[in-house]
Amino acid sequence: MGKHILLVEDNPDIANIVSINLSMLDHKVSLFNDGSQAYKQLNQEYDLAIFDIMLPGTDGLKLCKRMRQLHPEIPIIMLTAKSSELDVVVGLESGADDYLSKPFSVLELQARVKAHLRRCKSNTQNEVKSCLTFNELSIDANCYQVKLKQEVLETTAKEFELLHFLAQHPQRVFSREQLLDEIWGYQHAGSGHTVNSTVNRLRAKLETDPAKPKWLITVWGVGYKFDGS
């Protein structure tokens, strides 16, 4: 069964190609070429959103932040003509789960969409999942809820999945490539920023001092681990 995808892209050629190819996968695509028009429709029900960063009216970063407030659980993919590290990181820090820099392969975009939707489907299955507790931190996979000192932390779906996965394997170090494969469902050269930015967002919510993390530890030259001690 197809899903409902929100696509906001002001380049008509790119918008048409992406829309057609997603429709070929039996998805319903709501297409907007103006950010301000799309902003008014963010309260609708979507399964995935794709935002260009540079848009007339409201830009993709503001759309992403607002979508995160309204629908923290849905995957967001950013499209950008800017390929610098800073631009990519800014997009991810706004709450995006993934990004593609233009020009990109439509087949690659289709693969990313499939991977995100596949993981969403597996996460909504009704089996009883684990609730992990580490001192004042609890991570409940049944309701996608993180509590720190009895306070509920607002996390996106990908933030939760990354934290839960690492917490299931305390002290075990995972490379960025392993985490991409496990959490995002793909490996792609240059996508390490996706993992880094998700870890940074989690640290901002979890850590008393994100510069000196207690829970999510960087193992330089290797990757990340969860310290539940």
Mean pLDDT of the chain: 86
pTM: 0.70
Is pLDDT at 216 greater than 70 in this prediction? yes
Question: 167: number of CA atoms within 13 Å, CB side?
Answer: 23
Residue of 142 and 124 predicted with greater confidence: 142
CA dist list (Å): 71 to 27, 84, 104, 167, 220: 19, 28, 26, 24, 34
User: In the CATH scheme, what architecture does the domain 131-226 have?
Assistant: Orthogonal Bundle (1.10)
Report which secondary-structure segment, H or E, holds 66: helix 60-70
Is pLDDT at 190 greater than 90 in this prediction? no
Mean pLDDT of 82-98: 72
Domain ranges of the chain: 4-123, 131-226
Are the C-beta atoms of 73 and 157 separated by less than 8 Å? Answer: yes
| pLDDT, tens digit (0-9, with 9 covering 90-100), for 132-167 | 999 899 999 887 889 999 899 988 878 888 999 999
- What fold characterizes domain 4-123? Rossmann fold (3.40.50)
Neighbouring residues of 91: CB distance < 8 A, sequence distance ≥ 6? 53, 60, 61, 64, 78, 80, 99
